[in-house]
Structure 1
Amino acid sequence: MIPEDSQYQVLELIRDKSDLTQREMAQKLGLTLGKTHYSLKALVEAGWIRAERFARSENKSGYIYVLTPTGVAERLSLAARLLARKREEFDKLSLEIRALEGRLDRDGRS
């Protein structure tokens, strides 16, 4: 499966703008087209999104990506886990910053 950060980013993008092409999604997400395709395929297989065909123009068909009820629940669950992880990272970084500031204060006084 794809990393949680990527899962969340894809689900958020689909929630906000479901009619983007894979190429447009890749560009917005900062991913390669192949990674975007792989991510979408994995999320479809997991049942978090579904792809529905629609006519983009007279000559070709495209897909619109829709969050499923499971996808909506997973997006919220991912958001909670990512927020907890980011808070933990922030707390650790804050401790490191305070320790460095303390060293600078001590070394500056010597």
Structure 2
Amino acid sequence: MQSRQSKLQEDTDFRILRLLQENPKSSQRELAKALGISLGGVNYCLQALLNKGWVKLHNFQTNKNKLAYAYLLTPAGVGEKAALTGRFLKRKMAEYALLKAEIEAVQQEALENDSAVKNIV
């Protein structure tokens, strides 16, 4: 069973890979804003993804803006993103089922409490 920390890391990896696949030219600042995490956190995660070989950094040398980079998913990164997608969906569907059951229980309690209050008055 995965620890809470490893699940959070896996979710972050999945979200970063997903965003990069949609827009490889995203800056780290844009990724941080989209994910709601710090710029340093994004940098740390991107370095890990680069080290795992799931992402490669491409510099547009012909571009006058020498800071123009693209984060491209490698074939291994595409494969891992597919695996992460399946695990992410499974985890989120389980969370949804638990949340839905809790909402239904709280709604039932509210109805029962409302009925009890009306019977007292």
User: Normalization by structure 1: what TM-score?
Assistant: 0.85
> Which residue is equivalent to 1:44?
50
For 1:93, the equivalent position in structure 2 comes to 99
Give the % identical residues: 35
Deviation at 1:66, TM superposition (A): 0.8
1:12 touches 1:75 (CA, 8 Å); kept in 2? yes
The match for 2:60 among 54, 62, 66 is 54
Partner of 1:19: 25
Distance 1:99 1:56, change over 3 A: farther
Structure index of larger Rg: 2
Q: 2:108 aligns with which of 89, 98, 102?
A: 102
- Secondary structure of 1:55's counterpart equals coil
In the other structure, the counterpart of 1:82 is 88
Q: Secondary structure at the match of 1:3?
A: helix
The CA deviation string for residues 81-105 of structure 1, in whole angstroms up to 9 with x for no partner, is: 1111111111111111121122222
* Segments of 4+ moved more than 4 angstroms: none
Structure 1 gaps, min length 5: none
Instruction: Specify which structure has the higher proportion of strand.
Output: 1
Specify the code of the residue in structure 2 equivalent to 1:15.
Q
Letter in 2 for 1:107: N
Per the TM alignment, residue 25 of structure 1 is displaced from its structure 2 partner at its CA by 2.5
Deviations 1:15-67 (A, max 9, x none): 01111222232233332221111111000111111112223742524321110
Count of aligned pairs between the two proteins: 110
Structure 2: which 5+ runs fail to align? Answer: 1-5, 117-121
Q: Using the alignment, how far apart are the partners of 2:67 and 2:108 within structure 1? A: 61
* Alignment pair present for 1:70 and 2:90: no
Given the two structures, how large is their TM-score scaled by the length of structure 2?
Answer: 0.78
